[in-house]
Amino acid sequence: MKGNDQLISVLNSLLSDELTATNQYIVHSELCANWGYEKLHDVIEKRAIDEMKHAEKHIARILYLEGKPVVSELKKINIGDAVDKQIANDLEAEVGAVKAYNAAIEQANGAGDRGTGDMLKVILLDEEAHIDWLEAQLDQIKQMGLATYLSSQME
């Protein structure tokens, strides 16, 4: 089915965001593993996999709409040199993703493409859950201090 070219462009931009997030989360996950924070490593690695699955959905939808998925363009990756900076960087990325998904859903609905809109809504809920987890981590760091928080992330 031939899709709306502007919407395909938006899907490619979201695909780039998801691929960028995947890379950022993989690096953050491996840094946490290297530092001995296995619990964080596991959670962040799972989030990277979530983002890969989102990218896969975008690719499938772009192909369905007879577009060409662009997988070679990444946005700026923000690697934190400490856990609290990683969480802050990831939160910033997720907040941006939620804004982008809300705008894309409106665009899909405006183009009469409910299928794309529905797919985007499912991903939006995942991104909101990521924000919730990241905000909880920052709250814990604030309440218990970074050192105590980090000691709770070791196995």
Instruction: Report the distance separating Cα 23 and Cα 18, nearest Å.
Output: 9
Smallest Cα–Cα separation from 42: which of 51, 55, 53, 33?
A: 33
Statement: residue 4 has pLDDT above 90: no
Specify the CATH number for the domain of residue 89: 1.20.1260.10
> What are the CA-CA distances from residue 140 to residues 18, 93, 118, 149, 152 (Å)?
27, 20, 34, 7, 10
Mean pLDDT for the stretch of residues 68-85: 96
Q: Quick one: angle between helices 38-64 and 83-110, nearest 10?
A: 20
Instruction: Using the CB atoms, write b or e for 75-106: b if 16+ within 10 Å.
Output: eeebebeebeebbbbbbebbbebeebbeebbe
Mean pLDDT for the stretch of residues 141-154: 96
**Total domains present in the chain:** 1
| Domain, as residue range, for 118 | 5-151
> What are the CA-CA distances from residue 119 to residues 36, 79, 102 (Å)?
37, 29, 12
Tell me, what's the pLDDT at 106?
Answer: 97
Instruction: Note the pLDDT tens digit of each residue in 6-36.
Output: 999 999 999 999 999 999 999 999 999 999 9
Both structure tokens of 67: 């577009």
